[in-house]
Structure 1
Amino acid sequence: MDARESMTMTTIGVVRFTVGETPVELSVYWLNIYGGGLFLPFRDATYTSETYGAGRYLFDTIKGSDPVPFTHAQDEKQIMLDFNYAYNPSCSYNDRWVCPLAPTENRLDVLIPAGEKNYKEDRS
């Protein structure tokens, strides 16, 4: 994909949960490009030093990383989010890749110390 192209997503839902005592929410998207699929990008407070600065992905169904299926609980649908499966986008490994990053509404002020961390050595 060319860097000038836009990667459009449609918000299809919101997941609400707590981290410690802090209530948070993340938007879940449908990718409107190359085959579509559910997509959940996020950035948490670990981005400053522990994880990729632009955020990580929790799932991208077009690439085969599926969320735990929805189940019914009264009038709400539920999904299990396992942040141990959070991973870096392709662009974190190679500057030639262009990736959709975590939109503003998916930037959390809490730490989620799970999943893939930085892979690059600190050369300072």
Structure 2
Amino acid sequence: MIEVVHEENRPARTVYGITDKGREVLKEKIYKSLADFQGIRSIYSSVIFIKYTDLEKSAYMLAEQVAKLKEKIAHYDQVWEQLENKTPPAFHLIKDYTHNQMRVELAWLEKVTKFVQDGLWLDGRFEF
């Protein structure tokens, strides 16, 4: 607890804050989620609180995930080239969907990485 605020005609309001140990735990959880990236949703909360980390380290970790995702897309492209003419039309629909999803993930991850690298803050909020 940081303080209790008393205002006229209102009930008392308690203001809480995070401890130094809590900040360290938060950082480590964010770093772990960046290292274990499993898609956009897996790092939503980390992106919200990323300003509490070492931004250079976070940007590096994000850039690593961008590189991994690019490799995955390139691998899928190579495999698809070999299978494209040997698969039924339904496979093509599934391939289109998964390929598009990976590209959306990549574009978003690149955007977040650039944001962190460039330190795009405005009043403590993200600005894309």
- Normalising by structure 1, report the TM-score: 0.23
Which structure: larger Rg? 2
- Which one has a larger percent helix, Structure 1 or Structure 2? 2
Using CA pairs below 8 Å that are at least 6 residues apart, which structure has the higher relative contact order?
Answer: 1
- Normalising by structure 2, report the TM-score: 0.23
- Which one has a larger percent strand, Structure 1 or Structure 2? 1
